[in-house]
Structure 1
């Protein structure tokens, strides 16, 4: 406080200094509190995102290796607010845990329920995720069987992510495995998606699909290439011939090795959401 003899300007200056110090102290305390609150979330996100990337690259990862993420997954499930990155990573990790359960036959119902909850939480916060709509389609088919209502989930994936290459490979593999059961609009979308792969010169992906789940439907897939540049189609045809698949014949093409004939049953379909090669 100023003395009677202290100039008014000096008093104002000293008051300003004390005010600035108070504001800096308050800011420092706020920063410490903010860091203490957000640091655990940052650590969880870093760990969950790392596991998510490994899974989407189709690297085998067991339940034992994912056990350390249990507390982080539990915290993510318990949160009522939206953390889009954490929620999405949680859903992808829950998918791998569900796939592992299907493969082992252990805790299948529990893992499926956890996956369902994780997908709904993530899509509730960030609904424009074509991959998770695809996973939800797969999950509904596993738990409830293939129904007309489920096809709307696949349609959402096509609508929201028509050109994301890594999703296209997974989605096409799944859709081709059930091609005969698809309604006309979705079977048409599958054929158009394959044509886009060839048009954009993603030959490796197109070949893997064609000689795998698409082999039984090759005539329709090849007919869908009518609008694709001839150069691209020729590259696809020659490359397929080089590895033993003759697509030039008018009669159904036969493989050189019968042992390579595709067999896509329930187990293969069950692995497809995270089981195809991806580039997230």
Structure 2
């Protein structure tokens, strides 16, 4: 019995040795990932330092999904920043980011943001590909209405809107309406007047159930920018133009 207890004790010690460093890294990694998701900006040197710290964590036989997700998000942002700067090792950063996203998805298969990022990374590297739209479909299927994801996803999806399935198109339209309802007015207006302009009638038709005050705020923002469109429930006399 005593040898068995010793064996269990040794196993526990080994588990702690491997996993505790990940627990220690998990909280700050998730904090950084959360800031990235709301589009906080980091200096390139800061991201490099964060990645170095994450890489120092020992790889556990029980890799925590939250840590893997956070690491993938940080790698994505680092790759995006490097690509913008046109560094010569941009391809390397993209390779690492894609590998991290795929690894994180193995542990977080229902994470809509990771599916979106896999689609985004592939599109950035290889251009638009109809065969990859299932990644975008999967993002909407696993998380159709998530405000912080909508900030990035709605714009990306509108770029591919006519090629999406009917179900995903409906999700994109609902997401746009939810952005307005969540008071993300400036972002929704930018999507409407930018990549979504060709689909403005469909987008605006879907806001009929949005809170009237939110629709009025949208009308005000569009008027400020000199954009005249018909918004459901906003009469001509109510419009600020």
Residue number among 31, 42, 65 corresponding to 1:61 in the alignment: 42
Residue number among 129, 141, 146 corresponding to 1:147 in the alignment: 129
Secondary structure of the residue aligned to 1:53 is helix
Deviation per CA, 1:144-177: give whole Å up to 9, x if none: 3222221110011111111111112211011123
**How many aligned positions are there?**
227
Deviates more, 1:232-241 or 1:156-165: 232-241
Deviation per CA, 1:25-75: give whole Å up to 9, x if none: xx9999887765544222222332232123223222133112323444335
CA contact (8 A) 1:84 1:126 kept: yes
1:135 matched to 2:103: no
Deviation per CA, 1:234-265: give whole Å up to 9, x if none: 4432442245322249xxxxxxxxxxxxxxxx
Deviation per CA, 1:172-197: give whole Å up to 9, x if none: 01112333454544334322321333
The answer to which structure, 1 or 2, has the higher relative contact order (CA under 8 A, 6+ apart) is: 1
Q: Could you state the TM-score of these two structures normalised by the residue count of structure 2?
A: 0.77
Deviates more, 1:216-225 or 1:231-240: 231-240
Aligned to 1:110: 92
Task: Return 5+ residue gaps in structure 1 as ranges.
Answer: 1-22, 250-280
Deviation per CA, 1:88-128: give whole Å up to 9, x if none: 11000100111012112221211111011111111101111
Deviates more, 1:130-139 or 1:196-205: 196-205
Residue number among 96, 101, 119 corresponding to 2:101 in the alignment: 119
Residue number among 45, 49, 53 corresponding to 2:26 in the alignment: 45
Distance 1:148 1:79, change over 3 A: farther
Structure 2 CA distance for aligned equivalents of residues 168 and 214 of structure 1: 14
Deviates more, 1:70-79 or 1:45-54: 70-79
Residue number among 201, 218, 226 corresponding to 1:236 in the alignment: 218
Distance 1:227 1:32, change over 3 A: closer
Structure 2 CA distance for aligned equivalents of residues 60 and 197 of structure 1: 22
Structure 1 CA distance for aligned equivalents of residues 113 and 139 of structure 2: 7
Residue number among 127, 152, 161 corresponding to 1:179 in the alignment: 161
Structure 1 CA distance for aligned equivalents of residues 30 and 213 of structure 2: 40
CA contact (8 A) 2:22 2:58 kept: no
Higher gyration radius (CA):
1
Q: Could you state the TM-score of these two structures normalised by the residue count of structure 1?
A: 0.67
CA contact (8 A) 1:176 1:214 kept: yes
Distance 1:117 1:76, change over 3 A: farther
Distance 1:34 1:117, change over 3 A: closer
Structure 2 CA distance for aligned equivalents of residues 87 and 212 of structure 1: 34
